[in-house]
Amino acid sequence: RKEVEQDPGPFNVPEGATVAFNCTYSNSASQSFFWYRQDCRKEPKLLMSVYSSGNEDGRFTAQLNRASQYISLLIRDSKLSDSATYLCVVNRYKAGGSYIPTFGRGTSLIVHP
Amino acid sequence: DGGITQSPKYLFRKEGQNVTLSCEQNLNHDAMYWYRQDPGQGLRLIYYSQIVNDFQKGDIAEGYSVSREKKESFPLTVTSAQKNPTAFYLCASTEASRNGYTFGSGTRLTVV
């Protein structure tokens, strides 16, 4: 089983739609969770951190479910500019006391007019 | 402005050659990371360094080497032992892992 798993998609949605992505992680000792956005042939950029209580930033809502070991990202009122690949990042615990950022392979979102 | 600079943006290597990718940051971050990304794939960790003069192997370190002689710099050498080096290489850094990671704009390496 991979450390961090995401559905690669693509998710193809019309403008204005609500879309949700999930990401599962295998190491229960993981701490700190993030969603990154990556545009084609560009570097990933931090979209938002994911907190235990859930958090919202405008049209974006992130949730963490530690019991089931997954995080989610909800995008409301999708815009054409939201088209990108969304990467889930988990700080995986490594023996010796360090946490290593581990990436899912990403979920592709295409928003069409 | 603070950030991470990777150079060159594009790099072409002949088979059997070693090449070095540069990563410099002026964010005063302690930890730095090198990732490799292949088309349609996620980022895979090559090496990381959490403090000057110390670094650790990631998940795919074979055929790569690094150094961390200065806090600002974390160069990656792709050696001739790396059998499939063509990829997009990304460098990242963080002040504290709970705050997330900042990436450079990447280097595209192609073997010709």
pLDDT in tens, A15-61: 999 999 999 999 888 889 999 999 999 999 999 999 988 999 999 99
Phi, psi of B77 (to 5 degrees): -105, 125
Classify residue B64 by burial, with Cβ atoms within 10 Å: 0-12, 13-18, 19+: buried
Please list the residues that pair with A110 across neighbouring strands: A12
Return the amino acid letter for A14: P
Confidence band, pLDDT 50/70/90 cuts, at residue A4: very high
* Mean pLDDT value of segment B70-99: 93
- The pLDDT of residue A96 is 77
Residues of chain A contacting B88 with CB distance shorter than 8 Å = 41
Check CB contact under 8 Å for B103 and A43.
yes
| Residues recorded for chain B | 112
**Strand A4-6 versus strand A19-25 pairing type:** antiparallel
Confidence band, pLDDT 50/70/90 cuts, at residue A97: confident
Residues of chain A contacting B103 with CB distance shorter than 8 Å = 43-45
Considering chain A, what percentage of its residues have pLDDT values greater than 70?
100
Phi, psi of B98 (to 5 degrees): -75, -10
Q: Bigger pLDDT: A99 or A24?
A: A24
Q: Please, which residues 42-61 of chain B have a Cβ atom closer than 8 Å to chain A? A: 42-45, 48, 50, 56, 58
- The pLDDT of residue B35 is 98
- The pLDDT of residue B96 is 82
State how far Cα A74 lies from the chain centre. Answer: 9
Mutating which of A3, A40, A43 best tests the B interface, going by the most B Cβ atoms within 10 A?
A: A43
- The pLDDT of residue B97 is 78
Mean pLDDT (chain B, rounded)? 94
Across the interface, of A32, A45, A103, the residue whose CB is closest to B97 is A32
Q: Whole-angstrom Cα distance, residue B41 to residue B28?
A: 30
The CA distance from B78 to the nearest CA of chain A, in Å, is 20
Is residue B94 predicted with pLDDT exceeding 80?
yes
Maximal C-alpha separation, chain B: 40
- The pLDDT of residue B40 is 79
Confidence band, pLDDT 50/70/90 cuts, at residue B39: confident
